Structure 1
Amino acid sequence: MASNYELLSEQGLRLDGRRPHELRHIKCKLGVFEQPDGSAYMEQGNTKVLAAVYGPHQAKGKKTESNDLIINCQYSQATFSTAERKNRPRGDRKSLEFKMYLQQALSAAIKSELYPRSQIDIYVEVLQADGANYAVALNAATLALIDAGICLNELIVACTASLSKSNIPLTDISHFEEVSGGPKLTVAALPTAEKIAFLEMSERFHIDHLETVIETAMAGCREIRDILEAAVKEHLLHMGSAADWARVC
């Protein structure tokens, strides 16, 4: 589907005032709940997400027959998260897809060999949806895993990208840009290792633009990684000790 609107002004600015490669404002906090083993809250623009982690704990039932780590993800959107959401039940097809995508990406980040015959439960709730919902959910889940002390290969983060009508790549797509613009690309990556754990396109990009759009999303992932690392360091300083914290191993 072609773009219905030009997403850049004559001055080269997007509708919310951002430049093409500029992220939305990010605000995040670790340890927002006491009951889970780890938790985090994240805002990226007007998209707001809570994540909670329980575990690792012993897997029960038939799951114990394997030495593998079980990563159980649950993704949901609050009924008030968008105007359209109230007409869709929880557990709809898109939520089930995002659940699988979260499991796929987080499996690439967690050092599963350290947790044989164990299970980690990750719950993500989108409180307000305004674009890049899966990406923000994954970023919040990463922080919650760190808060729970889960050992990671490295931080896994996600970012979206698209193209304007003039074929200028755009980073971190808002909801209006998603519905008004062209195809959207979502990348979940291990930025330090330069590895892509998950990639999804809403529509196909022309081959001439695909590499540029992927690199745009990867650049966004690197920026988000730096922001998350700063949030972790700030929380460590606030807590006063890193003894019980996760580490990148």
Structure 2
Amino acid sequence: MTKSERTDNRKLDEIRPMKMKIGVIKRADGSAEVEFGDTKVVAAVYGPRQIHPRHQERPDRSVLRCRYNMLPFSVSDRKRPGYDRRSTELGKVITESLQPALFLEEFPKTAIDIDMEITQADAGTRTTAINAASLALAHAGIPMRDLVTSVAAGRANKKLLLDMTKEEEDAPDAVDLPVAMMPRTGKITLLQMDGIVSPEDIEKIVDIAEIGCMKIYEMQKKALLEKYSS
């Protein structure tokens, strides 16, 4: 795709500049920090470990628990500290996105906890959190079928776009479609949509997102290789 009219001068199918760093929290079993443009997320994994409260215990597998928290200073309009309804919902969404990639049955009667802190937000926080959590799980040595990669594609100002900014998400005709997948098999683990769009455009947007996920996958593998070869 050629140069577009995007405010940050990216091509329509271009992802914002990415940075990935592994092992950023020493006390965690695994951790990672991921940046997509001005969106920054730190993820920390703890476990497998004894589960509390005990009534959540599953005899046949580990319980994955994801906590998504947007820090008060992460957005321009000050956010009240602590978890809210949106944080709880996104924690569940991220849990469902990651579960298919994990061999949870290898750790019965335990919990694997992932804490994700959004330190700076400019759209794409849930997808950036998924990418960070996936790297943190790999760093923790949790057995995985594959990494999970995630990005949102959509429509803004009559154009189909990859990795939208907050300004693009606020366009009058905006459609936002976050996707997560396991790249080796192509299995989609997350597909959501905010907005109204034709079935034909949905297919095109998903295709754009899948191509974006493959680019992110290469970055994830590179970050892990650099961590363990240093």
Fold shared by both chains (TM-score > 0.5): yes
Rounded to whole Å, the distance in 2 between the matches of 1:32 and 1:164 is: 35
1:81 equivalent to 2:84? Answer no
Would the aligned equivalents of 2:16 and 2:163 in 1 still touch at CA under 8 Å?
yes
Aligned length: 227
Match of 1:176 among 154, 167, 170: 167
Paired residue type of 1:48 = K
Instruction: String of CA shifts for 1:129-164, please: whole Å, max 9, x gaps.
Output: 011000001100011111111111101011000124
Match of 1:232 among 209, 224, 229: 224
Alpha-carbon distance, 1:63 to partner:
3.0
Partner of 1:218: 210
Say which SS state the counterpart of residue 15 (structure 2) adopts. coil
Instruction: String of CA shifts for 1:75-108, please: whole Å, max 9, x gaps.
Output: 1011000012x24442122111110111101111
Partner of 1:241: none
Q: How does 1:65-214 map to 2 (within 5 A)?
A: 66-84=59-77, 86-166=78-158, 168-180=159-171, 182-214=174-206
Scaled by the length of structure 1, the TM-score of the pair is 0.87
Would the aligned equivalents of 2:3 and 2:11 in 1 still touch at CA under 8 Å?
no
Indicate how the Cα distance of structure 1 residues 213 and 83 shifts in structure 2: closer, same or farther if over 3 A, else same: same
Partner of 1:245: none
Unaligned segments of structure 1, at least 5 residues:
1-9, 239-249
Rounded to whole Å, the distance in 1 between the matches of 2:16 and 2:92 is: 26
1:41 equivalent to 2:33? Answer yes
Would the aligned equivalents of 2:156 and 2:175 in 1 still touch at CA under 8 Å?
no
Rounded to whole Å, the distance in 2 between the matches of 1:138 and 1:164 is: 23
Alpha-carbon distance, 1:72 to partner:
1.1
Unaligned segments of structure 2, at least 5 residues:
none
Scaled by the length of structure 2, the TM-score of the pair is 0.94
